Every structure is written in structure tokens, then in C-alpha cells.
Structure 1
């Protein structure tokens, strides 16, 4: 084998060490995660740098600082190691005798409301099934599904995405929420009404925040929130404290009625879809179909309970 060929044959173990350091930040933590010694990690990085001819880390004050080249290369291999970690996790489940494992990640509006109900029903008669569950921001949900670190993603307001499959489970509308005891006359609240007083806005960089701002613009109302928050649940808490009114998703509103808020229809209407996010090119397992079916039922139950949704039926998810 020639010298140039030998340099191109970089072992998966060296890349694994590189990935661990990039994620952990130190050789000590990387060694603990990989179950090897700290010198072995340091030697692996030196060997990888020698083989690639690229300086990956600067040694600063006994710490490794990734170079720009290291960051760029790590972006290329992250999806690979996401898949490998998923494979290792599934293999461990099989070795422990677990019959199935489902990895679900959701944004807060669904992750803290409807999805837990679906999960309780899903697990009730499946004693041999475990679930890895996380609630994160939308960009993290998409990334986890795309990289193979999650089987299913749940979110609000995502119409489409080039990197993943997006399927609508139900359609609903954002609602205005007011402190209990400070309700307005009538069943609706307009953007113009909110603009005439203090109101709580959603982070404008978020998809829901952009949708609310667009509704104000359609109504010719100024969008100048007195308080801006990242999550609808945070807005609900501030509304209950009597700070101001807000526009949030109906699921979060329904789950926070007990803390002292009331809901009103919001005009102009802001339609928002509850969506399922899956990885492209990967067939759904029976566990995934079962959970999706429970999710559809839970969304339908919310409609019955007074949350105005329009479930989107699919025969694929009845199994």
C-alpha cells in the first residue's frame, strides 16, 4: 500500500475520538465517554492530525480549542455518528431484552401538552417498550430527526422542510389569552385591540412569533410587545400573573387554564398545523405507527374538549 493510500485510510475509531472531543470539550470527558484512557484520546487526535495533515485543535491553557477546520470537518461526520449512536442504543436495548424503543422529540407546545397523553396511552399495554423523550426548540427537533437521533418529531407551525418529511396531524388556530377576571366583552380579541395596550409577544425569530407578527400586519396593527418570550407556556404564566395579554397556541392555553387564564378567539385568524416530522427514506416501524395513531387520537380528544382543531386522518397510522 502506498504512503498516500495509507493516509487516506482513517479508522472509524480515530473519527470517534474526534467526535467525542468535539461534543465533550475536553480529552478527560471524551475518554470517560469512550471508556478509554485520556492519553489514548490525546494520541488518537495526534494520529488523526498526522494522517489528515490538518491542525484540528489549538492547545490553550491545558484545553483543546477546535480550529475552524475541525468545526467544518465535524459538521460532515455528525450525521454518521448520530446514526452509529442510534444503532448502539438499539443494540443495547436488544441485549437487555427490551422488545422495542421509540425516540420522540417535540417542541414545547405539543411536548408539554398533547404528546404526554399520547405517550401514556401508547405505553399502557406495551410493557416491553421504552421511550426516549425530549422537548427542544424546533431547529433541534428537525436536526435530531434528520441525523437519526430521533425516530419521530412533533411540532407546531412547520409547513415543509427540505431535509425531513413533514406530515400534518391536525390544524388549529392560535388564541388570545387574558388574565382571569380581566376578560373583554365578546368572544374575540383582535390584533388592533392588543396593540392598543400592553401585550406579551413571542420571540420574533421563532416560527410562531413570525406568524403572530404577520397577523398584526394583516390587521394594520402595530406589533410592539411590552414583553417578549421564547415559549407559549412562559407567556401563559405571565398572563396569569396579570402582566398583559398574549396570543399563544390553544394546546398550551388549555393546559394552563387552571393557573388563571381565559381564552378568546383571535382575529385575524392564525392557522397553525400540528405536524409529524420523520426522516426521509426510512420506513416506519410498528411502534412508530402505534404512537402516531395515539397522537392523532389525543389531538382529536382535544377537539372534543373544546380546542378547535381539525384532525387530518391517515389510514397508514392505525397499526
Structure 2
């Protein structure tokens, strides 16, 4: 058997006691810092000296004087305990939602409007937090959350999905947007009014596009867009240019609002849900809970500002 073989391994706790005494200078202060008794500190040092076979302290007038060997050994373990203290601090920040990385993906109606407002407040006073943020189409949002490439998805016009969790944050209604020249004095317009002039439709393969088409059909109006676009924001830009009317989500209408465009309620009403999408079977971190809270607040503020948003129960 080689020399030293069979000796008990030195525990991290004994090294922690050694480090505390070297930094504090007395067993009393070391005991207070570690939250243990003074006899436990003294016993730990005796055990460490026994295991190492090295005298670490000279006992002079009820004080412990580090030996040269103790000073040299402490230099070796300083980086270890710096890492331990850093680990503890980072864990505490994570526990309090003040550190970490969050991956968020959203469809344009929320990703370019309300979500950035929530993110601004979320990041304030969280210097240790970073965010990976992307804005994509709905199918990409669902795929990213399902595969674990995103922690949270934000979208409109989806109530459920078999592969992910879908939770409603707020409910609202689509609105009509019209060039000022085609504006109606009424507070609301219907499909017949919009269908009587050039209409800008949403991509029919999209969920919102299908909802708009169904609303036209319910009103007995032929759905025949002069221009078809993929995104609500694009429709708003074309309306502002005077190309035609459109039915889009209220978030885009509010944030894309510009001179030349009028917003009206649309009949028959098209209710849509603002939802968050999360991965099944994965618990939510404190960081994620914190962002969700800010997102709910942002939606509530949007509602308070006069937008037609109904807070989810």
C-alpha cells in the first residue's frame, strides 16, 4: 500500500473551516460566519491537521497563528472558495429571478408591440439577466418551444395545441383599419362596408386570415382581397398608403398607427386570444415567471390606454 493510501479524503467542509479562519483571524469570527459553534471550528482544524499531517496553526495566547505551511496551502484553495462563493451568489440571484438567460420567441403582432414593453421592464434592475429574442411565424414559434429551443412563445389566434401548453393572457378583438379618405363616421364598420372598396387581406393560410374570411362569409359578403399580405403590420402600412382597408389585430393597429389611418371596431366581432406557449412537462423558472408577470402587466396597461383588450380570467 502506498503512503497515504487508505487515509480519509479531506472534506470540503474542513477546507471551508480552514478558509474561514484564515480570512477571519479568530475561531469566534469564523464560527459566526459559518453559522456553527466555536468548538466545531476548533475540532475541524484538529481533524484537518490530523488528516494532512501538517501543523496549520500555532496556538499563542488563545489565538491561532497560521504557520508558513498554512499560508501556502490557503493560497492553493483561495480560487476554490472564490468559485464556491460565486456559485452561491449566482444561485441566490437565480432563486430571486435576478440572473440567468431567457429565450423568448413571438409572432409579430405581440413580438413587435407589447412584448418589447414587457421586456424593457423585465430587464430593468436585472443586470445579470440576458434574453435571446426572436420574432417568427406561428409554426416556428410552436416548433421552437416544443423542441426546447425557446422557453416561452407568444402568439395570437391559437387556443390549444396538442404538443405544447397554451395559456391565455388576454382576449381582444380584431379591428378595422381604413385610409382617412375612406373613413366612416360610425364607431364600427362591417364586412359589407369593407367589401365595397379595395380590401387588403391577410394570408389565407394563416389563422388570422382564416378568421377574417369566416367573418366575411358570416355576413354574406364575398371575400376577395385586392392585395393579400402575410403580416398585419404590412397591411397597416398599405392602409396608411391609401391602398385599401384591412382587418388586423388591435396591438399592431395601435403601434403602427400613423397619420392617414383610422381605426374602427369591426363587425361581426372576431375574438382572438393573446397566449403564451410553454413546453409540456418542464417547470417554469423564477425568471420565466417574472417575465410572464411583466407581460400580463404590459397587456393590462395596453388595455388601460384605451385598446380593446379583455384581461383573461
TM-score calculated relative to the size of structure 2: 0.68
- Can you give the 5+ residue segments of structure 2 that lack an aligned partner in the other structure? 1-89
- CA distance in structure 2 between the aligned counterparts of 1:216 and 1:182, rounded to whole angstroms: 19
1:186 alignment partner in structure 2: 186
1:267 is the counterpart of 2:253: no
1:78-117 residue pairs with structure 2 within 5 A? Answer: 99-117=99-117
1:240 alignment partner in structure 2: 240
1:164-183 residue pairs with structure 2 within 5 A? Answer: 164-183=164-183
Q: 1:154, 1:275 within 8 Å by CA — same for their partners in 2? A: yes
1:143-162 residue pairs with structure 2 within 5 A? Answer: 143-162=143-162
- CA distance in structure 1 between the aligned counterparts of 2:156 and 2:129, rounded to whole angstroms: 27
- CA distance in structure 2 between the aligned counterparts of 1:116 and 1:172, rounded to whole angstroms: 19
The alpha carbon displacement at 1:259 in A equals 4.7
1:208 is the counterpart of 2:208: yes
Report the CA distance shift for 1:172/1:203 in structure 2 as closer, same or farther (over 3 A).
Answer: same
- CA distance in structure 1 between the aligned counterparts of 2:258 and 2:119, rounded to whole angstroms: 22
1:310 is the counterpart of 2:310: yes
What are the superposed Cα offsets for residues 108-155 of structure 1, whole Å, 9 maximum, x if unpaired? 000000000000000001110000000000000000000000000000
> What CA RMSD, in Å, does the superposition of the two structures yield over aligned residues?
1.4
Structure number, greater radius of gyration: 2
| Count of residue pairs the alignment pairs up | 218
1:29-178 residue pairs with structure 2 within 5 A? Answer: 99-178=99-178
- Counterpart of 2:258 in 1: which secondary structure? helix
- CA distance in structure 1 between the aligned counterparts of 2:192 and 2:258, rounded to whole angstroms: 27
- CA distance in structure 1 between the aligned counterparts of 2:241 and 2:258, rounded to whole angstroms: 12
- Counterpart of 1:257 in 2: which secondary structure? coil
What are the superposed Cα offsets for residues 39-62 of structure 1, whole Å, 9 maximum, x if unpaired? xxxxxxxxxxxxxxxxxxxxxxxx
- Counterpart of 1:302 in 2: which secondary structure? helix
TM-score calculated relative to the size of structure 1: 0.67
2:255 alignment partner in structure 1: 255
What are the superposed Cα offsets for residues 237-272 of structure 1, whole Å, 9 maximum, x if unpaired? 000000000000000000011353110000000000
- Counterpart of 2:246 in 1: which secondary structure? strand
